[in-house]
Amino acid sequence: MAKLNVDANQVEDWNHLSLQAPPEAAATPGAHVFWAGVILIGVGAGVSAAVLAEILFAVQSLAWPAPDGSIVEAALAAGFWRHVAILLGAGLLTGVAQYLLVRLSAGNGIEITTALWFKAGRLPPLRTFGSALLSVLTVAMGESLGREGAPKQISALLANFISDRFRFSDEQRRLLVACGAGAGMAAIYDVPLGGALFALEVVRGVLSLRLVLPALATSVIATVIAWSVVPNAPTYRLSIGGGEVSILIWSLFAAPVAGVASVAFVRMIAKADRIRPESWRRFLAPPTAFALLGLASVAFPQLLGNGRELAQLTFDGAVPPLSLVLLLGLKPLAIFVCLASGGVGGLFTPSLTFGALLGSVLGLFWTWLWPGAPLGAFAVIGAGAVLAATTQGPISAVVLMIELTGRDRAFIAPMLVAVTIATLTARTIDPRSIYDARLTDDELAERQRLREPARH
């Protein structure tokens, strides 16, 4: 990973945030320019999310044709060689693309959150755009990573471009790049409020009233525009009820386990980044790793894709107990293999899916002691707990789970209990999230120090 340098000027800039903050009222000098930028970012995020969704659906329908668009159903009906050939193709594409991007772009890629903390939100254009396009293609072909990575990157890159053209301050750029990333997620998953909170709490790292309106505006605009392609409906269907007391008590015991498991998941992501191939190994590692994923998917087609369908199966309580236990180990392994070999993609849905599997397995044991609660309820609570702990964003995680499922009071009390305890447990062990897992200890300490002034 490229070394990130933080000089005295950057630290000084953080100590004078109030001089460069976004305008709080329409009458503030320069407010019309700032809000024009906000609107343009929202529109661009919505259009780009819609285009990327069309590309993803088209490629997936070619690679894994199914009447209902289900990659798992298509994989179940596909022959052995199709599994291997499609994933091998995704690996070859990854190897060639990564080699070209490194040769043609200056330096390596950079995570959005890392760019915000250490580069004032500046992203390498060619590498970021190429990685986003590669991500949407390989995820559609079955790579075991999230589809939200591409719209987040493109929207953040657009915000960076607009900040350059409008000559916004570094602090305004940081905010708008975070808003762009959140708007990209909001548009692709139809979660406007969750996307706005994700932009501030997780990406920007600051929940402040003066930042809320730009985040809400970009996310809402992007979501509405993306409705032309992305369904205006919850991502997951829930039909669970009953056993509320049992689930609430279970949350007290399961949440610490979810917190510890989340730390292990984040450290796995960090390990995968450290061993990513370089030089000529960029060609060999992705095809080999992806071909192995293709072989494994013959027996476990649920390993393919970002994990949305697998999470839905756990919410329905439709995964057999033995498969739950096996997939709890195999899905994170598939994510690790994809990342460690050089694959690119999002980590949001993979984290949610890992939490759903963990909650299902823990709930399975609980129902032996206290029968009656539906297994899907444990999956939903586990998904929210792990999502909160791996992103270090408890508020946005709860809101996202409500928007993704279209449910609120059905699970809100045990969800809040599980999210609070799991996040506290994870932070006590390791403050890193999946989005800053790549930071060294020194960089993490510097980020924590730089973050302090923004709280005042």
pLDDT band at 17 (very low <50, low <70, confident <90, very high): very low
- Domain contains 12: no
- Domain contains 7: no
> Are 332 and 397 found together in one domain?
yes
Residue 364: is its pLDDT beyond 90?
yes
Question: Which is higher by pLDDT, 331 or 443?
Answer: 331
> Are 201 and 325 found together in one domain?
no
- Domain contains 132: yes
318 within 8 A of 350, measured Cβ to Cβ: no
> Are 339 and 404 found together in one domain?
yes
> Are 294 and 267 found together in one domain?
yes
> Rounded to the nearest 10 degrees, how much is the dihedral formed by the CA atoms of 434, 435, 437, 439?
-170
- Domain contains 209: yes
> Are 277 and 149 found together in one domain?
no
- Domain contains 407: yes
> Are 207 and 251 found together in one domain?
no
> Are 59 and 193 found together in one domain?
yes
Whole-prediction pTM: 0.90
385 within 8 A of 418, measured Cβ to Cβ: yes
pLDDT band at 20 (very low <50, low <70, confident <90, very high): low
Which token pair is 364? Answer: 């399975």
> Are 206 and 265 found together in one domain?
no
> Are 210 and 249 found together in one domain?
no
> Are 77 and 146 found together in one domain?
yes
Calculate mean pLDDT across residues 387-405.
95
* Residue 209 structural domain: 33-226
For residue 150, what is the enclosing H or E element? helix 149-166
Angle (nearest 5°) at CA 149 between 94 and 167: 110
**What does the pLDDT look like over 151-203, one tens digit per residue?**
999 999 999 999 999 989 888 999 999 999 999 999 999 999 999 999 999 88
Calculate mean pLDDT across residues 224-242.
87
Candidate from 3-7, 39-43, 70-74, 338-342 with smallest mean pLDDT: 3-7
**What does the pLDDT look like over 61-109, one tens digit per residue?**
999 998 888 999 999 999 999 999 999 999 999 999 988 887 776 545 5
Angle (nearest 5°) at CA 419 between 418 and 421: 65
For residue 299, what is the enclosing H or E element? helix 281-299
- Domain contains 21: no
Calculate mean pLDDT across residues 117-121.
79
> Are 43 and 79 found together in one domain?
yes
Which of 226, 252, 279 represents a domain boundary (last residue)? Answer: 226
- Domain contains 10: no
Which of 226, 260, 279 represents a domain boundary (last residue)? Answer: 226
Place of tokens 């599994």: 83
The contacts of residue 78 (CB under 8 Å, 6+ apart) are 64
Which letter does DSSP use for residue 146 in this model?
B
**What does the pLDDT look like over 199-218, one tens digit per residue?**
999 888 877 778 899 999 99
Residue 454: is its pLDDT beyond 60?
no
Distance CA 368, CA 372 (A): 9
- Domain contains 93: yes
Could you give the number of structural domains in the chain? 2
- The CATH code of the domain that includes 343 is 1.10.3080.10
Residue 18 has a pLDDT of: 36
